[in-house]
């Protein structure tokens, strides 16, 4: 054997039966790779057939393999020749003592495959797993189409499929993103929502013993509001429901602080609740910037949709329209007045993208009028436009992105002698708490007849549970609907995005985004 290894510059004329297994054309890296593969597959045979081998045979096999292993790490000149000769020699020694183990490609492939499956199973069950995010409940932190790696050992280990913890060295804290199995035994106090996803991803906002309450889209933990600040008034995004249908939405972005975490949330309710002018007199829909009514320019009209709470195309977004650019089918221009519906008007395409079909809008104010919306109430010339709640709105329905029931408030309103209905969506997530019987309840303060007096206090998280909510506050099925999360159901936390697509188009800017600590 030592004589073979010392051959530096040329090959012996006769190398035996296994010369063809190691061709001369192989380069160093291929030789090295094949040698390591040989060692990984053949070394185990020494242990498997130890009882059949003599002490001399075992010694020679081990010495041959050790020499091959050391040569894979060699940096000497002529290392390629040495490694090739030693690999051929290793085949010869193996054939000498264990001839049946030299060529076992199918068996070795099956053994490798089984080993890989066991390793992957172990990793996915206890260490790391991958998840595809199909829904938008965690927008904007996690987007539909994100594929994530999640740590399953960050807080400890549990028996797979049993949700039994057997080793814990930490636990989730407020603000952590958690991956968990949905509660199997739904609390009868909560709305029952059929789950079609094996695992949920939400943010833990409260622990056992904490109290949770939502008032006007502000979350209170133990009586204190979660600190938040406005980031962006209009955030456009595509949401996705359980049926994989895309829904275009517009929301308001906020930055929140909870525990050691700073993160972003989005709410779609309240976007149109305020309208007016800023300190410069320019119209704005940003609540914090509204300081006075907006004055309609001379010889112009201000147009609003009757579907006022769900409209993203009227004068609140493209401004006032000149009288000369407004027409009504089958009506003389001179007879057009405030209160009329208009189906033909022109707007500046440089200000807004014009849809293929312009919606029918209503003239609510003319040049010189002052117009303002405060908390969903319309004011013209500083006077409230009275409205009366309609008990049964006809033909109006509104579902949030998860198919959870929401309401639409229908009001009768009169402007310039013209009576008509206007509609505002009512989010069931704007308020949350418990009623006088301790049962969970939802309501919205802008509808006096809609159970606003039901909520009398905050909800207390039971022992052994935590409270989870989505960052997409109005598009998330979470603990507000199906109850708190059993701590034993928590599997881990997202760590990093390894792939992200939108309609099968890669979102490269999201690749390798890190979640941990956010």
Contact 480, 206 (CB under 8 A): no
**469 to 320, 441, 493: CA distances (angstroms):** 40, 16, 15
- What single DSSP character describes residue 368? T
Does residue 180 carry a pLDDT above 80? yes
Residue 171: is it exposed, middle or buried by C-beta count within 10 angstroms (0-12/13-18/19+)?
Answer: middle
Of 99-108, 380-389, 446-455, 475-484, the least confident: 446-455
Does residue 242 carry a pLDDT above 70? no
Tokens 């597959």 correspond to 41
In this predicted structure, what is the pLDDT of residue 497?
86
- From start to end of 269-320, where are the E strands? 276-277, 283-284, 294-295, 300-304
In this predicted structure, what is the pLDDT of residue 392?
47
In this predicted structure, what is the pLDDT of residue 107?
61
Tokens 């792939």 correspond to 499
In this predicted structure, what is the pLDDT of residue 517?
58
User: Which of 460, 516, 462, 467 lies closest to 490, judged by CA?
Assistant: 467
Looking at every residue in the chain, the average pLDDT score rounds to 78
Average of per-residue pLDDT across 341-358: 82
Distance of alpha carbon 336 from alpha carbon 155, whole angstroms: 68
Name the pLDDT band for 383 (thresholds 50, 70, 90).
Answer: very high
Q: What percent of the chain has pLDDT over 70?
A: 76
Does residue 394 carry a pLDDT above 70? no
Name the pLDDT band for 403 (thresholds 50, 70, 90).
Answer: very low
pLDDT in tens, 461-498: 999 899 999 999 888 888 887 888 888 888 888 888 88
Average of per-residue pLDDT across 99-117: 68
**72 to 11, 37, 75, 118, 450: CA distances (angstroms):** 19, 11, 9, 28, 77
pLDDT in tens, 136-149: 889 999 888 888 88
Name the most confidently modeled range: 139-148, 178-187, 434-443: 139-148
Distance of alpha carbon 173 from alpha carbon 160, whole angstroms: 23
Q: What percent of the chain has pLDDT over 90?
A: 21
Domains of the chain: 2-103 (no CATH), 130-269+463-510 (2.10.109.10), 276-426 (no CATH)
- Please indicate whether residue 447 or residue 421 has the higher confidence score (pLDDT): 421
Contact 130, 147 (CB under 8 A): yes
In this predicted structure, what is the pLDDT of residue 384?
92
């Amino acid at each position: 054997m030592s004589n073979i290894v010392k051959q530096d510059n040329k090959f012996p004329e006769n190398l035996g039966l296994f010369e063809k297994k190691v061709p001369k054309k192989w380069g160093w890296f291929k030789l090295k790779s094949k040698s390591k593969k040989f060692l990984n597959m053949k070394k185990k045979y020494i242990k498997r057939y130890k009882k059949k081998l003599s002490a001399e045979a075992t010694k020679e096999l081990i010495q041959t393999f050790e020499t091959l292993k050391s040569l894979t790490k060699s940096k000497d000149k002529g290392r390629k020749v040495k490694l090739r000769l030693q690999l051929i020699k290793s085949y010869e020694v193996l054939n000498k003592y264990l001839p049946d183990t030299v060529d076992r490609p199918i068996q070795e492939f099956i053994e490798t495959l089984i080993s890989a499956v066991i390793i992957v199973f172990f990793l996915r069950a206890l260490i790391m797993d991958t998840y595809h995010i199909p829904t938008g409940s965690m927008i904007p932190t996690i987007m539909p189409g994100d594929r994530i790696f999640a740590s399953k050992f960050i807080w400890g280990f549990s028996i797979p499929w049993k949700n039994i913890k057997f080793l814990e060295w930490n636990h989730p804290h407020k603000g952590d993103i958690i991956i968990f199995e949905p509660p199997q035994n739904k609390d009868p106090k909560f709305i029952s929502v059929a789950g079609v996803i094996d695992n949920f991803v939400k943010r833990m906002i409260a622990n056992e013993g904490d109290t949770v309450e939502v008032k006007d889209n502000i979350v209170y933990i133990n009586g204190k509001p979660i600190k938040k600040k406005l980031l962006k008034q209009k955030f456009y995004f595509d949401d996705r429901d359980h049926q994989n249908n895309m829904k275009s939405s517009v929301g308001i972005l906020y930055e929140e602080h909870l525990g050691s975490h700073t993160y972003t949330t989005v709410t779609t309710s309240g976007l149109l609740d305020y309208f007016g002018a800023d300190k410069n007199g320019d119209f704005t829909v940003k609540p914090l910037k509204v300081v006075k009514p907006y004055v309609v320019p001379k010889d112009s009209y201000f147009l609003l949709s009757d579907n006022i709470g769900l409209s993203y195309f009227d004068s609140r977004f493209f401004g006032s329209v000149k009288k000369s650019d407004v027409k009504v089918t089958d009506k003389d221009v001179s007879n057009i007045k405030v209160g009329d519906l208009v189906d033909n008007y022109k707007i500046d395409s440089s200000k807004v993208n014009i849809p293929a079909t312009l919606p029918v809008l209503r003239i609510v104010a003319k040049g010189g009028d002052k117009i303002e919306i405060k908390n969903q109430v319309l004011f013209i010339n500083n006077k409230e436009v009275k409205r009366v709640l309609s008990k049964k709105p006809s033909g109006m329905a509104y579902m949030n992105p998860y198919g959870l029931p929401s309401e639409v408030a229908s009001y009768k309103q009169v402007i310039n002698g013209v009576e008509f209905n206007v509609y505002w969506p009512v989010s069931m997530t704007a308020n949350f708490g418990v009623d006088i019987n301790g049962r969970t309840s939802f309501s919205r303060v802008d509808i006096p007849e809609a159970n606003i007096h039901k909520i009398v206090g905050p909800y207390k998280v039971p022992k052994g549970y935590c409270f989870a909510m989505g960052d997409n506050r109005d598009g998330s099925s979470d603990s507000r609907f199906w109850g708190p999360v059993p701590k034993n159901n928590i599997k881990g936390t997202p760590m990093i995005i390894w792939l992200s697509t939108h309609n099968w188009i890669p979102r490269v800017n999201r690749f390798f985004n890190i979640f941990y600590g956010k």
